[in-house]
Homo-oligomer: A and B are copies of this chain.
Amino acid sequence: MFFSSDNAAPAAPEVMAALAAANEGYTSSYGADDIMDRVRARMRDIFEAPEAAVYLVSTGTTANALALSILARPWQAVFCHRHAHAEEDECGAPEFYTGGAKLITLGGADAKIDATELRTRGAETGQLGVHNIQRGALTITNVNELGSVYTVAEIKELCRIARNLGMGTHLDGARFANALVSLNCSPAEMTWKSGVDVVSFGGTKNGLMGVEAVVIFDPEKAWEFELRRKRGGHLFSKHRYLSAQMDAYLKDGLWLRLARQANAMGARLEAELGHVDGFRMVHPRHANMLFCGFPQAGHKRAQDAGAMYYPWPNKAPSGGSEVFLTCRLVTSWCTTTEEVDRFVAAVRG
């Protein structure tokens, strides 16, 4: 009964098998391995973007920070939701990689950026010429930090506003697959067809050991990205082990299968907990994350039964003596029906 985070789940068996298969003999370093050629081809195919530049890094923070560094200069602003991972959970990595760009935080229900606020704050920014931080980039997250999924229409609107303000858009897709499965659209629709310029395409939270892709639709930015990646220490000599994971992930739709399982378990949690007295959703669930509340006694019973998850919004790990009512529950590709049902039973008592 583990609902703390999808980043604590193991790697999928197909991924382990691919790693073992890749571990034969000598191979070219630094991304010149044959498997990476396959990854590039698969990714361009999936995104219907034959010109896209595709790179692998090993953490989501890196993917985001490097992506932003090619979209915003040091004297520019990056607009994000105030609950964005880039703002709250990366210890300033975007500032570090951009050379000191300013994150301007916006509000909006359920961690979705309010379009009007983006328009207003964007218009104000840089208005006084050289004295001000200039407009740089927009970054949105899908699935976002409060478990909501931007619709394609919402993405389009935000990207259009950004474009009108002279800015490019980054999509933090640490849970890209979960969002896609939830939206039931194509990767292209969720990204470049809606105006997204650079994507962090997560794998780690959905069955990989630690691999994220960065997909850049404008290949003009590719060389700068490569230099920044190397300079950041994120170019792997034994790159084949990243390639192999991503290759297995993309092969035969594994990434979608894993995400569907995670989302289905999220839906089941929501449905089953719905029968608990006093249960309520704090934010709508669109994928594999629930923000919800139920009576304290239920939390007590769940924890006594060994359930692991975080109270929310204070984020301290559960299991202590503190009293709380609302929490975050995250399912993953390896969450089982049995696990969900056992948890709900414990909560119910």
Interface residues of A (CB under 8 A from B): 2, 4-5, 7-11, 16, 19-20, 23-30, 57-62, 65-66, 74-75, 88-93, 95-97, 99-103, 127-128, 130-134, 204-205, 209-210, 226-238, 241, 308, 315
Is there an interface contact between B91 and A59, defined as CB atoms closer than 8 Å? Answer: no
Is there an interface contact between A231 and B75, defined as CB atoms closer than 8 Å? Answer: yes
Select A315's contact among B29, B128, B228, B308, beta carbons within 8 Å.
Answer: B128
27 CB contacts below 8 A, A to B, read A4-B26, A5-B237, A7-B237, A8-B238, A10-B23, A11-B23, A11-B238, A11-B241, A19-B19, A26-B308, A57-B233, A58-B210, A60-B237, A65-B233, A66-B233, A74-B92, A74-B96, A75-B231, A92-B101, A92-B133, A95-B102, A97-B233, A99-B99, A100-B100, A127-B315, A130-B230, A131-B230
Copies held by the complex: 4
A8-B26, A204-B237 known; A93+B127 contact, CB < 8 A: no
Is there an interface contact between B237 and A210, defined as CB atoms closer than 8 Å? Answer: yes
Is there an interface contact between A89 and B132, defined as CB atoms closer than 8 Å? Answer: yes
Q: A57, A99, A134 — which one has the most chain B CB atoms within 10 A of its CB?
A: A99
Is there an interface contact between A128 and B89, defined as CB atoms closer than 8 Å? Answer: yes
Report how far A93 CA is from B229 CA in the complex, Å.
Answer: 10
Chain B residues near A16 (CB-CB < 8 A): 19-20, 23
